[in-house]
Chains A and B, each alone.
Chain A
Amino acid sequence: GAVVSQHPSRVICKSGTSVKIECRSLDFQATTMFWYRQFPKQSLMLMATSNEGSKATYEQGVEKDKFLINHASLTLSTLTVTSAHPEDSSFYICSARDDGRSTDTQYFGPGTRLTVL
């Protein structure tokens, strides 16, 4: 149980284009999901908290107009990197909190490798 998927697993795009990454909780409902970014040899950095039916909460220094988050259902959150540039190349990872559990344990997706040329 507690499986989270991400799609695509890797994407290569040209500078200036937008890329959408999907995060799905497959066997549980998740009112709250999270988006992280991880650069090579570094730890995960939280970008934003995604809440179903409401606006996402972004961490300090994360541009909300550049990283658009939509959480339209209890099993799906999307992250759109708008006007991507080479410095946005990174490993993007989502996580989801299981609504059916009383603890705040998060379950992570496998990640999406974004390369911007």
Chain B
Amino acid sequence: DAKTTQPNSMESNEEEPVHLPCNHSTISGTDYIHWYRQLPSQGPEYVIHGLTSNVNNRMASLAIAEDRKSSTLILHRATLRDAAVYYCISSYGKLTFGQGTILTVHP
């Protein structure tokens, strides 16, 4: 699995957009870009994934750089329930979790 690099933590205010960056400079052509989030004492929750094109779903948007070496998860309007650890993973097959980004949302 390709290694990813994410900031250790980020902060946001409620109802503001949040852009969570991820670098995956060693990504291979068949690797998907996955985003999961995890609350304390819970299993990870699937957020979004993509391969080459930008993706939107009800939870978030995923913007993938043209060279695929980086991506950004966009939460359009952060809520307190979005506070979690966000994991960016580039892989095909097995998922290798890094330390993720701890997102804090202030009311």
Q: Which residues of A contact B (CB under 8 A)?
A: 2, 4, 6, 34, 36, 43-46, 49, 91, 93, 95, 103-111, 113
Residues of B within 8 A of A111 (CB): 41-43
Residues of B within 8 A of A (CB): 32, 34, 36, 41-46, 49, 51, 87, 91-100
**Given contacts A43-B99, A103-B32, A108-B36, A113 and B41 within 8 Å (CB-CB):** yes
Q: Is the interface of A mostly helix, strand, loop or mixed?
A: strand
> Are B100 and A43 in contact, CB atoms less than 8 angstroms apart?
yes
Inter-chain CA distance A46–B92, complex, in Å, is 14
A110 engages B42 (CB within 8 Å): yes
A108 vs B43: C-alpha distance when bound (angstroms) = 6
Given the interface contacts A103-B49, A104-B92, does A44 sit within 8 Å of B44 by beta carbon? yes
CB distance from A107 to the nearest CB of B (A): 6
